[in-house]
Amino acid sequence: MKPKESAKYIIIAIILREIVCFWTGHPWDFEIWVRVGKLTSMGNNPYTWLFYDEEVSFAPYPVMTSIGYLPFIALLSAGIYLLYSVSGFSCKYFYYFLLKQPFILGDILSALALAKYSEIRGLNEEKCLDVLRLWLFNPLVIYFSSIWGMFDSIIIFLVFVALIYLEHGEYFKASLALGVAVFVKIIALIYVPLILLFRRRKIATGIAYILLAVSIPVVLTAIPFIVLGWPTHGITECMTYQSGPPAYGGMSFFSIIEYISLILTLDPNLSLLLSKFWIIMLGITYLLTLVEAISIESRRIRIRYRRIDVLDAKILVASAFIPFRPFSAEQWSLYLFAPLTIKFAKEDERNHSRFFLVIAILVFLYTLTNNTLFIRYLSPLSAKAFYMDLTLNNTPPTAALRYCIKMILALFTSISILELYLYTIRGAPTEPDLYFVVRRMRSSGKTVIAKYVLYFISFLIIVTLLDYTVILMVTDWSRALEWRIFLGDNLIGLYHVLLGALIVFYILTIGAFMKCRFMDRAATLTKLILLSILATAIAQPLFQVLKGEIPLKGRPLYLAFGVTVDERIFFIYTVTFSVLALAYVDRLVNLLARYVEKR
């Protein structure tokens, strides 16, 4: 790369980050660094309760749990607090500014490491510069480090330093870099087995380097406990908690049970089983990246090793980890974007570019929804932002709406990452399903889309007004609920059954007059049914608004045949599955049509 050209972009990137770093911060994660820095600077054990400190705190939590990591971030924050305390500049915003400097430095160093690795992989000077620019000015990279206050870019820097050493055959240095990365954040452990990609013919030596990498965080963790005399029960409790029954949610397939887990208690054995599923996926992935075939010849086991690109291996590991964890944080997407950035910069990697764009847009939208339009990051400026965020996230109707949008985006993201996983393994030309959906919508034309929109809006209005009219007509609710009139069900249940039957009959009648192929007719009728289900779910809160009530408060909703559900669960899951099904119905019909043609 041209030093002057790259220096220009680095300076601009630093300025952008410095502008937003000192007055923003996550009111939980970054507040922990703020509190633990002062606590640990006094020689105290960071693995304890963190109390509000008027001198440095901005989030008004009276007490917080401490770090869920190895002690790197506590020691780093402590060193920064000591620097702040001797600076003589008593302003907590200056402390926040100092705290984020290592994270910003991590962004810059990781960009340089990505560009250097691209150069080693044979990319020309201009494309290496593209890699640098893509990473430095990726809004998500800036957001996670400089606004949220997370340090994942440091791990990405160390992992790519390790890859650079591995490419040069310097396995000892690579193991050291990976070991330090694990000490910084234990998530880096998922990349340690990739050492074997470079030591296929000498597995024993590769395992020795893996053990070296794993031993480094153990030693580095033990040092402060020995030197400072910290008791070990705090970190053991922390690690036990991390490996215990999981929290569900984030950008994971398990987000589907996030809302249910808040209302209902799941079976502990089921929770424990689900919490380990990602380990199985990683184990399968390591085998797929290392081994192509195993055979037995002359009573000897012979292994044919797979030749796989290291960047593809990194993509596979991240793609197996993120969607199958019970809880996946947004910043973990950076571990996927790092190798995809290099793929994106290569003009011949068109499909990877599409995956990069689709997943990046989904992650941004998920982050925007999960963090309440980024209001919470203004908490260092005003406590009003903190309380507004809490109010919107925990009161009806916005609480249920947020969970619904989060779940839709989380599932779309997980499906897209899984598609990337399958594409990377097979190597066959493909594209993200959502990319296909957008392309299909464009080819359908505005007239076709307008017809579906008109159907949805008209159906929504009719169902809402019909519900409202029927409810006004009921004068004796005890009789309506107790009178068993149809298959042992009451009048309300009968109304819902008849309404559903009417919808299906109406849509089938439309299909009878359509002149097109059977598969096209099936796709259209399926879309109309899904739009009707979606409209029915949305009509429920609209109906409550018409009644002058606050929607989605958690009232029991009677469906039919004795089935009663929480109205929030009905709304969230009906909307989620309707939207998902609408997005993928064309793809499924196409696959079915191809299958029928082959038969």
Cβ neighbours, 10 Å, residue 596: 10
Question: Which pLDDT belongs to residue 27?
Answer: 96
pTM over 0.95: no
Q: How far is it, in rounded angstroms, from Cα 86 to Cα 89?
A: 8
Angle at 486 between CA 483 and CA 491, to 5 degrees: 45
Q: How far is it, in rounded angstroms, from Cα 213 to Cα 162?
A: 11
Model confidence pLDDT, tens digit, residues 236-249: 777 665 555 567 78
Question: Which pLDDT belongs to residue 350?
Answer: 65
Question: Which pLDDT belongs to residue 1?
Answer: 65
The closest of 417, 410, 349 to 134, measured between CA atoms, is 349
The letter for the amino acid at 387 is Y
Q: How far is it, in rounded angstroms, from Cα 525 to Cα 518?
A: 10
Q: How far is it, in rounded angstroms, from Cα 187 to Cα 158?
A: 12
Q: How far is it, in rounded angstroms, from Cα 324 to Cα 316?
A: 12
Polymer length in residues for the chain: 599
Question: Which pLDDT belongs to residue 296?
Answer: 52
Question: Which pLDDT belongs to residue 156?
Answer: 98
- Series of mean pLDDT values for 10-residue runs along the chain (599 residues): 84 97 96 97 93 95 92 97 93 97 98 95 91 96 97 97 92 95 95 80 81 95 93 77 66 86 69 81 88 54 67 93 92 96 78 89 96 94 94 92 95 94 79 81 82 92 86 73 75 83 86 79 89 93 88 88 88 94 84 69
Question: Which pLDDT belongs to residue 538?
Answer: 94
